[in-house]
Chains A and B, each alone.
Chain A
Amino acid sequence: MTLILPIEHISEKDRPKVGGKAFALASLHRAGFNVPTALCVTSDVYDRYVLSTGIRERILMEIHRKAFEDMRWEEMWDASLRIRNMFLTTPMPGALKDALGDSIAKCFRDQPSAVRSSSPGEDSKKASFAGLHDSYVNVRTRDAILEHVIKVWASLWSDAALLYRRELGLDPEKSTMAVVIQEMVLGDRAGVAFCRSPVDPSQAVIESVYGLNQGLVDGTVEPDRWLLERASGKILSHTQPKRDLWVVPTKEGASLESLPSPMATQAPLKEGEVGAVYRLAMAAEEHFKSPQDVEWTFLKEILYLLQSRPITTEKGDGEADDRTWYLSLSRSFDNLKALRRKIEEQLIPAMVEEASLLESENPDDLSLHELVREVERRSRVHQKWVGIYWHDFIPFAHGARLFGQIYNDSVHPSDPHEFMSLLAATEMESLKRNRLLEELARDIREKSELRKLLETGDLENADPRFLTRLDRFVSNYGQLICPDPSLNACRVHMCGFLLRMSAAKTTARAQRDITALTDSFLSRFKGQKREEAAEMLDLARASYRLRDDDNIYIGRIESALDQAVALAEMRLSSDSASAKDRNFHEDRIAVVKKKAYVPHSTVNETTADDHFDFRPRQLTGQPAGPGLAEGPARVISKVLDLAEFQAGEILVCDAVDPTMTFVVPLSGGIVERRGGMLIHGAIIAREYGLPCVTGVPDATTLIQTGDRITVDGYLGIVIIGTDTTL
């Protein structure tokens, strides 16, 4: 078994265990290219580590929890987070550590190094894993390098890498990873070169930034770009960016800084240097006999080749693959900060304003023609916000994920979701709403006169102050449990619910002391890094809060649309509408209704061959809120199901929407078909300390309202039925 190989000792036979990157570096080194000194930790070491520590089977259990193809990317992210934490909390066995440590110490002493992934099977002409696995720069000391080797191994299981492997049809059970430890060349200018432009095959492309390459690779620093004639190297064009940032090495790692002004006015490469990079890239192409994507750096006047890989060709069917999209699932801190400003300063205020405007307009007085036009207008407004939701709000959710990774990397907690406790210290719109509901229910509980009036349906004689608060609640939060747009119908439904709420013992929001947890997290960082960590926490809390709030606001816009649709349908069904009008407008309303977002109601699946009677007994999902609860199920497939919700029932639904979560204080637990730790069901369950299981396939069809079910939020299991005669 070969554990570690200097690149000069790597030969053809080693290829399967050193991976594409290390093999290419070795080949370039032999051919006389100026590549930095490097060692390769072979995939044998990875295999030995995962086998001897038992991680291998734990990973496979995690990714086989449900059919790989049925997992949403959010579930993949959760699985990936748990797997990453397995690596971070599992030290390298002593013998392995000693064997690697000696070679590393001998080769690098305390010189800075780059620790890069080199997965066997990656980077072929058909597929590129570029950017999907992690690499780390400027790592010093033997122990730090070994720690980063483990992090690179963990990145084999990142959500993006898992998704990409699924797309390519690669078997995750066969995945393995070699790691290149490379002398760090702290260059003053760096960049990439593509021997052949993906846009125009007759051209080559060179991109360059000041400082280290990381800013260019992760998209935070915009590069200078040169297009060259591929055949001659003649410069065809030079595009200059704003040039205000660069990535510089720090004591450990690297950081993004403002670019000093003298450099901002000058391109990082002179014309002759562009030519030198071009010749280097073309020499690599000549060497490998295929167009290359080359990373390079200049240290003073010396040009180094850092790595070279084949340019991925298009897939056989002519469609480009989705690697770029998978990569976009991860966003940098700076990118997220800009997105937060846009959301908080522009989008949310505009969305609230638009919702309020729609709510203030009364469609009752419109003619039938005007009303149908109004329905279409509201539908367009709704569609616009749904688009913004996907384009801006969902990507911002990555803030919470990025924080989770930083928290786990620094704290190494035994519970990989411990970071969520820190995020929950935030005031969400749905919790404010639930508090108002609880106050109304308390009034009913404490004032027997009011209670009697509501029980007999005599709203007219109820305390006007109570009615004012009730009406304000109904108008602020849309028709939560009432599809009928009239205020009176909503009042009646809401009173029924409040009466049940006042009689029941509801779950109070969990109280937790997060100060100690926050201090413990921040104490891992010093100086500037501590400020950045605090800023990251703040951003993650905004991201977490928004996952709830945006749905509340979009729910208000949706309610305004539903209200107009219901009114139009009522008018169309009335006798006064002419047959011609009816035919014409019904189609227009139908089109709007098709587009409108409503939680999908699933219908029980039945098959013709019911020879066998299937009864699900135990369903597996993901643990999303610790605890154990048992009670009758309430399956939510339409708004009115919420009105029927009884205290102590288990909320079972396709996807918990924040507009639904007002029943949560009454419920015993939550089961959701949609998976993920950062979805609303999981967030709200944690807020109330309720057991929760998410990602249960076909939850709403396999479980019926009234079934007694047990929610095991520790293990992510739902057991149906109380029969224990198994």
Chain B
Amino acid sequence: MNDREVLIRDLGQLLVTQRLAVLSTHNAGQPYASLVSFAADPDLSKLLFATTRSTRKYANLTSNSRAAMLVDNRSNEEADIHSAMAVTATGVVGEVSVAERREALPLYLEKHPYLKEFVNSPSCAFLKLTVGTYYLVRRFQNVVEIHMPS
């Protein structure tokens, strides 16, 4: 396995094993961060999450769809400094279309079955971050950019 394959494997594992991500949105020059339950699609091109339409993050995304999402495997131990891995995904957020929903929703609920009612509620928006770039940080200081095909 070459270095690139190892990177993709590690990125994939991180996105599969972690349940929560920090979503960053902004509006009128003011950044805002919130915790979301997410799932990645198999080719890592989209990160799925859900939010009610009354939230600040949804309002921010409505006025500015560009966002970032941070996923990491820290355990709140000192050793995180050398052993934790973090990835920031940047891209554009939009609603999952009705056609996409047929595949995306089972994928999301497989990881978060307890959110079935929440995500199916009429007040909830089922969203996708279409990833432009992943920024992967390992060993405290190693950073690699992974640009997704457009």
A contact residues vs B (CB 8 Å cutoff): 54, 56-57, 60-61, 64-66, 605, 607, 609, 611-620, 698, 715, 717, 726
CB–CB B148/A726 < 8 A: no
CB–CB B145/A715 < 8 A: no
CB–CB B145/A616 < 8 A: yes
Assess A619 versus B81: contact at CB under 8 Å? Given A607-B4, A611-B149, A612-B147: no
CB–CB A612/B135 < 8 A: no
CB–CB B139/A607 < 8 A: no
By beta carbon, the residue of chain B nearest A719 is: B143
Give Cα distance in the complex from A614 to B6, angstroms: 12
In the bound complex, residues from chain B placing their C-beta under 8 Å from that of A717 are 141
Q: Which of A54, A605, A726 is the most central at the interface, judged by chain B CB atoms within 10 Å of its CB?
A: A726
CB–CB B141/A615 < 8 A: no
**Whole-angstrom distance from the CB of B43 to the nearest CB of chain A?**
8
Given contact pairs A613-B149, A615-B147, a sample of 5 additional A-B residue pairs in the complex whose CB atoms are under 8 Å apart: A64-B139, A66-B139, A613-B147, A616-B144, A619-B142
| Chain A CB within 8 A of B28 CB | no
CB–CB B139/A614 < 8 A: no
In the bound complex, residues from chain B placing their C-beta under 8 Å from that of A698 are 3
**Whole-angstrom distance from the CB of B30 to the nearest CB of chain A?**
18
| Chain A CB within 8 A of B109 CB | no
A-B contact pairs, 10 of them (CB 8 A): A57-B81, A64-B82, A612-B148, A613-B148, A614-B144, A616-B145, A617-B143, A617-B144, A617-B145, A618-B143
Give Cα distance in the complex from A92 to B142, angstroms: 33
Assess A614 versus B146: contact at CB under 8 Å? Given A57-B82, A61-B81: yes
**Whole-angstrom distance from the CB of A712 to the nearest CB of chain B?**
9
CB–CB A715/B82 < 8 A: no
In the bound complex, residues from chain A placing their C-beta under 8 Å from that of B78 are 54, 56-57
Give Cα distance in the complex from A618 to B145, angstroms: 9
**Whole-angstrom distance from the CB of A671 to the nearest CB of chain B?**
15
By beta carbon, the residue of chain A nearest B143 is: A618
Give Cα distance in the complex from A619 to B141, angstroms: 7
Interface hits, B66-105 → A, CB 8 Å: 78-79, 81-83, 88
By beta carbon, the residue of chain B nearest A605 is: B2
| Chain A CB within 8 A of B35 CB | no
In the bound complex, residues from chain B placing their C-beta under 8 Å from that of A61 are 81-82, 140
Assess A620 versus B79: contact at CB under 8 Å? Given A607-B2, A612-B146: no
Assess A620 versus B147: contact at CB under 8 Å? Given A57-B82, A607-B2: no
By beta carbon, the residue of chain A nearest B88 is: A726
Assess A614 versus B82: contact at CB under 8 Å? Given A66-B139, A620-B139, A620-B142: no
**Whole-angstrom distance from the CB of B114 to the nearest CB of chain A?**
32
Give Cα distance in the complex from A618 to B7, angstroms: 15
In the bound complex, residues from chain A placing their C-beta under 8 Å from that of B149 are 611-613
**Whole-angstrom distance from the CB of B29 to the nearest CB of chain A?**
16
By beta carbon, the residue of chain B nearest A612 is: B146
In the bound complex, residues from chain B placing their C-beta under 8 Å from that of A54 are 78
CB–CB B139/A617 < 8 A: no
Give Cα distance in the complex from A615 to B79, angstroms: 27
**Whole-angstrom distance from the CB of B46 to the nearest CB of chain A?**
14
In the bound complex, residues from chain B placing their C-beta under 8 Å from that of A614 are 4, 7, 144-147
In the bound complex, residues from chain A placing their C-beta under 8 Å from that of B82 are 57, 60-61, 64
CB–CB A615/B2 < 8 A: no
By beta carbon, the residue of chain B nearest A66 is: B139
| Chain A CB within 8 A of B59 CB | no
Q: Which of A66, A614, A616, A715 is the most central at the interface, judged by chain B CB atoms within 10 Å of its CB?
A: A614
| Chain A CB within 8 A of B115 CB | no
| Chain A CB within 8 A of B33 CB | no
- B124-150, CB under 8 A of A: which get 1 and which 0? 000000000001000111111111110
CB–CB A615/B145 < 8 A: yes
- B12-40, CB under 8 A of A: which get 1 and which 0? 00000000000000000000000000000
By beta carbon, the residue of chain A nearest B7 is: A614
Give Cα distance in the complex from A564 to B6, angstroms: 45
Give Cα distance in the complex from A19 to B108, angstroms: 52
Which single member of A56, A65, A612, A726 contacts B139 (CB below 8 Å)? Answer: A65
CB–CB B146/A613 < 8 A: yes
In the bound complex, residues from chain B placing their C-beta under 8 Å from that of A618 are 141-143
Assess A726 versus B140: contact at CB under 8 Å? Given A614-B145, A617-B145: no
By beta carbon, the residue of chain B nearest A618 is: B143
**Whole-angstrom distance from the CB of A605 to the nearest CB of chain B?**
7
**Whole-angstrom distance from the CB of A82 to the nearest CB of chain B?**
14
Give Cα distance in the complex from A618 to B142, angstroms: 5
Q: Which of B4, B88, B148 is the most central at the interface, judged by chain A CB atoms within 10 Å of its CB?
A: B4
Give Cα distance in the complex from A603 to B135, angstroms: 25
CB–CB B147/A60 < 8 A: no
CB–CB B141/A620 < 8 A: yes
By beta carbon, the residue of chain A nearest B44 is: A612
Give Cα distance in the complex from A60 to B81, angstroms: 9
In the bound complex, residues from chain B placing their C-beta under 8 Å from that of A726 are 88, 135
**Whole-angstrom distance from the CB of A708 to the nearest CB of chain B?**
15
By beta carbon, the residue of chain B nearest A716 is: B141
By beta carbon, the residue of chain B nearest A56 is: B78
By beta carbon, the residue of chain A nearest B146 is: A612
Give Cα distance in the complex from A619 to B142, angstroms: 5
In the bound complex, residues from chain A placing their C-beta under 8 Å from that of B79 are 57, 60
Give Cα distance in the complex from A410 to B81, angstroms: 31
By beta carbon, the residue of chain A nearest B147 is: A613
By beta carbon, the residue of chain B nearest A613 is: B147
By beta carbon, the residue of chain B nearest A62 is: B82
Give Cα distance in the complex from A726 to B78, angstroms: 25
Give Cα distance in the complex from A612 to B143, angstroms: 16
In the bound complex, residues from chain B placing their C-beta under 8 Å from that of A64 are 82-83, 139-140
**Whole-angstrom distance from the CB of A70 to the nearest CB of chain B?**
11
In the bound complex, residues from chain B placing their C-beta under 8 Å from that of A616 are 143-145
Give Cα distance in the complex from A605 to B7, angstroms: 15
In the bound complex, residues from chain B placing their C-beta under 8 Å from that of A56 are 78
CB–CB B144/A615 < 8 A: yes
Give Cα distance in the complex from A73 to B3, angstroms: 22
**Whole-angstrom distance from the CB of B2 to the nearest CB of chain A?**
6
**Whole-angstrom distance from the CB of A613 to the nearest CB of chain B?**
4
In the bound complex, residues from chain A placing their C-beta under 8 Å from that of B3 are 605, 698
**Whole-angstrom distance from the CB of B75 to the nearest CB of chain A?**
13
Give Cα distance in the complex from A685 to B126, angstroms: 55
In the bound complex, residues from chain A placing their C-beta under 8 Å from that of B7 are 614
Give Cα distance in the complex from A717 to B5, angstroms: 23
Which single member of A66, A612, A617, A619 contacts B4 (CB below 8 Å)? Answer: A612
CB–CB A715/B83 < 8 A: no
**Whole-angstrom distance from the CB of B148 to the nearest CB of chain A?**
7
In the bound complex, residues from chain B placing their C-beta under 8 Å from that of A613 are 146-149
**Whole-angstrom distance from the CB of B22 to the nearest CB of chain A?**
15
By beta carbon, the residue of chain B nearest A712 is: B141
Give Cα distance in the complex from A615 to B139, angstroms: 17
**Whole-angstrom distance from the CB of A429 to the nearest CB of chain B?**
36
**Whole-angstrom distance from the CB of A60 to the nearest CB of chain B?**
5
In the bound complex, residues from chain B placing their C-beta under 8 Å from that of A609 are 4-5
Give Cα distance in the complex from A64 to B142, angstroms: 11
By beta carbon, the residue of chain A nearest B141 is: A620
By beta carbon, the residue of chain A nearest B68 is: A726
